[in-house]
Structure 1
């Protein structure tokens, strides 16, 4: 066995290539790590290779493994330079140089360190509980906020900015002294001396404060991926290098560059001030970035840091992370519910608006489900923890918002292509500008040529173009989450705006999904009570809402179900089992064929009468005979009618596809004035209907809540799952409605429209700004008005364009 330790790049820039010595990766410059450590990470997925963006919904579990690697969180480039590539360490993108963004999670979002201190002697501090060494009192916990990666990056950039301001301001004053005669600086020293002072002051700005920009520019050239840093590094680098050569060896320059004393004009002030203004833009951008994640941080802040657990009859406060499934918890008045679970003792009125978007508090009693992060009213209750950590609804919401923020909308592809070629075009325009001014410009022609070429490079930086889409998606997805609409990716936001056909399931989507037992009748040798007992016995093992209604109805009549054998669920038909060595079943008319049973006319008449009033009828079968009829009814949600009418008014046709019978489906469709419906639909029927509409050129959204809806949800342009439905439905959909009613679809469409409108505004600002800025910088106004754009003003305008795009995106928070 080879005992020599090998080293690999954690980003796998060169695949699985190994190195014999530690050091830095020659591609991305990240520190190489020992291969054996890397192997531990590969248990879930290779770091840096998360491909969640456009992959379909079934990658959810794989994604979760990736984001938990090493417990350090995950980082991604907000510009998506390398697609969905993820990084394990904070830093800069090796392609564009932008600061990597952290994928927020419960652990990374709430960055607190507990310090224990004495209430009598606050100078006593330690990181664990105990007694005060001075007075013996119990130490009490004190939370100390820790800086997030974004805050650290912001503070670091801010320090560089203020250092640059301190050095650039005197450089600027020296350079402008000829325009401000009252300063009389040239009476104190010669031009050459002041040029040396400018050099001394400008050099720290270039090689410390702004050095990262040059590294980003070099990476863009080396990787053949031209971007904003290409233009900045070339422009500022040219100005600084020109000035250094002019100061050290002025003899190499033509006479027109020199003044009467043989000094060549230097541009240290341009290099220093431009970098300072770019730094200002980066500072403002980092500050705005933290605001774009405010929705995620607000969601992360919903969960309380501690929970009150009941163990051995005593109440103990423990960190939220230590709560385990099955723990009994107590929630006092005004406190936040710590995790998802069920109330076991007491009643409550809970404010769920932060999760569902609904302002009316929900009444809860014993057996009711409660969600972590919601706020308890004025009563205390006990609950059983059922979902903790990453399994809670709040954690899943945060994960979906993260995923949407990292994904790329199709419209982003246009911006990417334009930005890529735009940089190359601008470089060509800068060269042409230099040539035109050098040949036909006024004296000193080369000076004019040089200054205008730099102005073109600086003013045309496409940072605003690159930020236009990601910023809106990031803010918009967070705002949608706060409204109870969870979006998996940016494509769903863009597509939802185009939907013209909405297909909805009935049970649990249009209706409450909580049907109740209505009628039961014997049509054979059994009594009515025996029919209900056998039906409840078969359905006791089923998870279908109709089965729950029958079992619950039987228990309310003090009828206890019997135990059966070989239970089996038949999708789209019903259920079957073995009872006293006989094959028994409960289901719709399709199940009759499986059992070879045929009801007589009288039985069919009863079933039709019940169905015509909106009841769902099931046949109880023993071997090949119909022994009874069971019916349940599911009331239509109060919100359904209004939501459907609003969607139709907005130009969306609404169709209902249900596995229920023709009579029940027709009654619901007529009551809601749907554009169409189909009954007796199997999962493949719903799938085929979605495909049929798509082949007709429609953009189709499918809303459902059950396992049988999963194929159609996956096929639809936009799959919409009810948050009250099954997990597989939510995994198959791009959008999940936390509240689980059709009003959420209306909200999703409206918010989608606002986000896309915001993106188009951003792209318009970016395109128009560059379209106007480049020709002005090139000097198109000079022949008519004698106006030129200073490189320093160009840098200020470039920074302002990025800030304006971010500010416009932040407006979505108030929608």
Structure 2
């Protein structure tokens, strides 16, 4: 199995940067695939099957650095301390950007006012002084934006142009031409126009746009930070009655930890002492607090609401559910769906094409029209400035980033961004029964006895079952409310239990054992494995009927799936009657019983062979072959690590409402991505010809480079704001 490694990549400014890294790194023999996220400044590297990660990493990092970027190995399960440090760096960077932006906007605002006075025809007694002041303001803006200019020309020199290159060419060309025009004006040529405002305002609008892009990236990182900060930094560990405060990282499996009310649990564990209510809304999407008592599981990051408890640690910090959620969200954000490949391909060739288009526009207007050198140059600058690959680069990752966090809030995690697209075409969903549609734990349904009350049958049965570990015994114990008899019970493997109560021997077990003991069970009472029979010597006393507990939301979820055009099908290894009963209660018309893992696999294959797109939902263990074969696989969380489950998505929480949300959110996310891509393509498809002067050819105006810069900034902002609408998903 190929290894996946998260890389932190610094220095990317536009979609062309991400596309170039992706293209060049993919050419390495040691790399199976790499997906680079501009919005997250990360890359998800998948090493070739026959290559060790430690052998591939130096080559990959060297290739990325040869392209002018910086790469380090990231950690999808970043510690709280590491993440806090990252957030501090983000905040410090934003403060610096904000401080510089204030000066840029102030200078740009003055330039805009001076530019408007020219448009409105206001005259000044000292025109040269005014132009010199404009030049001074523009030069200040160029200095404040020097990182963009240096990066742009450096990449241009090394034949790897990016968005910075376009900005650098446009702004510096306009500034240098303005200096040239100023010298001609001083020499007495009144026909020359100076365009310092073009250079200054271009960089002003670019800086404003990038600031909002940085804010959107930080917002996405804050969403993961919100999950990470659920985990406390300290824990109160108890050893032999002595309580000491230790770092969470120091906790080991088996440690006993005390958690007071209104404290977050520091680790995954089971409750040893106490009863409380646990709030897990940020972790699993549960709407209401859950009752928890001795033996129940709790997870790191869940909030203990009502009373103190003692828990036994069952997982290290790096293996906790919270860490798995964080890892899944970050890896999903770093991956890309198929719909993004077209944008990546276009972005890679986009900038060279734009530079060629700007050059052709200049040559065409200068040599084949009478507009002159100045206007031809302004047209070329407008083309360079308006063309924006950033909108295309942000269209997909911003939507995926937002959707990944929304998914965790809605009860599921996505393993890969392709999940959203896979979910679109599903028309049949195969469901395991036990642990998927049911809770996996049986409950006592009814008791039939000709001689004893229901309460007395349950009391006797519970007294006999105290030493049994069978699931039905737990259901029987849970139903009892009376004091137990002293039965001195004995377990008879594969048959049942026996004990003596008040001098009388009782037997509780399956029908075959009853027959072996000579106890005749009435024919209409024989119900197979979901019933227990109580008897004494040669006498049947009672039958206890059990049923699997359906998940509370199962029926509603399946009904809503049908409205989406997805037909449920039940595949179970249980007996015919048990499966038929559950299918009937849930309104499932297609079901198969006594299915082996191979049988489930064949059922999925048969559906696919008839043209269906099939999703499979199961517990991720005995359903693994079918999960791997399905077009979309969904695992139900259990004691197996999320990372080892062969699934595209994982449900978290106590219900299966997340199953419905997978399909609903997938449709909303892909629609959002398509809207973003449509806007990005349409913007450039219309904007570039307008910037090249197509309107003027039909009697319209030329585009001013200043307005081109403003339009470029607005295109990226529109994409980001549209993606953030996904936060409204409920």
Q: Does 1:615 align with 2:546?
A: no
**Which runs of structure 2 are paired with 1:244-323 in the superposition (5 Å)?**
260-261=188-189, 265-323=193-251
- Partner in structure 2 of residue 393 of structure 1: 321
The C-alpha deviation readout for 1:284-342, integer Å capped at 9, x for no partner, is 11011111234312212222333233344344333333333222222222222222111
The C-alpha deviation readout for 1:316-373, integer Å capped at 9, x for no partner, is 3333333332222222222222221111111112222222222222111111111222
- Partner in structure 1 of residue 580 of structure 2: 666
**Which runs of structure 2 are paired with 1:461-610 in the superposition (5 Å)?**
461-515=388-442, 548-549=471-472, 609-610=526-527
The C-alpha deviation readout for 1:31-56, integer Å capped at 9, x for no partner, is xxxxxxxxxxxxxxxxxx997868xx
Give the match's secondary structure for 1:149.
helix
Tell me whether 146-155 or 296-305 shows the greater mean CA deviation: 146-155
> Residue 456 and residue 657 in structure 1: after superposition, are their counterparts in 2 closer, same or farther (change >3 A)?
same
1:767 Cα deviation from its structure 2 partner = 1.8
1:762 Cα deviation from its structure 2 partner = 1.0
> Residue 729 and residue 771 in structure 1: after superposition, are their counterparts in 2 closer, same or farther (change >3 A)?
closer
1:677 to 569, 581, 591: 591
The C-alpha deviation readout for 1:690-747, integer Å capped at 9, x for no partner, is 2222233322211111511112112212211112363379621121111253322111
> Could you tell me whether the CA contact under 8 Å between 2:620 and 2:647 is conserved in 1?
no
- Partner in structure 2 of residue 378 of structure 1: 306
Q: Does 1:351 align with 2:265?
A: no
Q: Does 1:732 align with 2:668?
A: no
> Could you tell me whether the CA contact under 8 Å between 2:8 and 2:72 is conserved in 1?
no
Aligned residues: 645
Distance across 2 between alignment mates of 1:485 and 1:468: 23
> Residue 314 and residue 170 in structure 1: after superposition, are their counterparts in 2 closer, same or farther (change >3 A)?
same
TM-score, normalised relative to structure 1: 0.69
2:268 to 318, 340, 365: 340
- Partner in structure 2 of residue 691 of structure 1: 605
- Partner in structure 1 of residue 167 of structure 2: 232
Give the match's secondary structure for 1:760.
helix
> Could you tell me whether the CA contact under 8 Å between 2:40 and 2:334 is conserved in 1?
no
Distance across 2 between alignment mates of 1:278 and 1:454: 14
Distance across 1 between alignment mates of 2:532 and 2:158: 70
The C-alpha deviation readout for 1:417-438, integer Å capped at 9, x for no partner, is 2333443443343233223321
1:503 Cα deviation from its structure 2 partner = 0.6
Distance across 2 between alignment mates of 1:638 and 1:772: 52
> Residue 81 and residue 776 in structure 1: after superposition, are their counterparts in 2 closer, same or farther (change >3 A)?
farther
- Partner in structure 2 of residue 254 of structure 1: none
Tell me whether 505-514 or 636-645 shows the greater mean CA deviation: 636-645
> Could you tell me whether the CA contact under 8 Å between 1:258 and 1:264 is conserved in 2?
no
> Residue 270 and residue 103 in structure 1: after superposition, are their counterparts in 2 closer, same or farther (change >3 A)?
farther
1:603 Cα deviation from its structure 2 partner = 12
1:662 Cα deviation from its structure 2 partner = 2.2
Distance across 2 between alignment mates of 1:737 and 1:651: 21
1:631 Cα deviation from its structure 2 partner = 9.3
Q: Does 1:84 align with 2:12?
A: no
1:326 to 254, 257, 269: 254
> Residue 762 and residue 109 in structure 1: after superposition, are their counterparts in 2 closer, same or farther (change >3 A)?
farther
**Which runs of structure 2 are paired with 1:710-729 in the superposition (5 Å)?**
710-724=624-638, 726-727=640-641
1:635 Cα deviation from its structure 2 partner = 2.5
1:107 to 64, 76, 79: 79
Give the match's secondary structure for 1:787.
coil
The C-alpha deviation readout for 1:600-638, integer Å capped at 9, x for no partner, is xx9999799525xx83899xxxxxxxxxx9996422222
- Partner in structure 1 of residue 90 of structure 2: 150
Q: Which has the higher contact order (CA 8 A, sep 6+)?
A: 2
RMSD: 4.5
- Partner in structure 2 of residue 596 of structure 1: none
- Partner in structure 1 of residue 703 of structure 2: 789
> Residue 493 and residue 258 in structure 1: after superposition, are their counterparts in 2 closer, same or farther (change >3 A)?
farther
> Could you tell me whether the CA contact under 8 Å between 1:517 and 1:550 is conserved in 2?
no
2:387 to 435, 454, 460: 460
> Could you tell me whether the CA contact under 8 Å between 2:468 and 2:491 is conserved in 1?
no
1:245 Cα deviation from its structure 2 partner = 5.5
1:159 to 68, 80, 99: 99
Distance across 2 between alignment mates of 1:150 and 1:80: 12
1:647 Cα deviation from its structure 2 partner = 0.8
> Could you tell me whether the CA contact under 8 Å between 1:509 and 1:740 is conserved in 2?
no
- Partner in structure 1 of residue 373 of structure 2: 446
> Residue 83 and residue 103 in structure 1: after superposition, are their counterparts in 2 closer, same or farther (change >3 A)?
closer
TM-score, normalised relative to structure 2: 0.76
Unaligned runs of 5+ in 2: 1-6, 10-19, 22-29, 47-56, 448-460, 496-509, 534-542
> Could you tell me whether the CA contact under 8 Å between 1:706 and 1:725 is conserved in 2?
no
1:280 Cα deviation from its structure 2 partner = 1.1
Unaligned runs of 5+ in 1: 1-9, 13-26, 29-48, 55-74, 113-144, 251-256, 521-531, 541-546, 565-573, 576-587, 593-598, 619-628
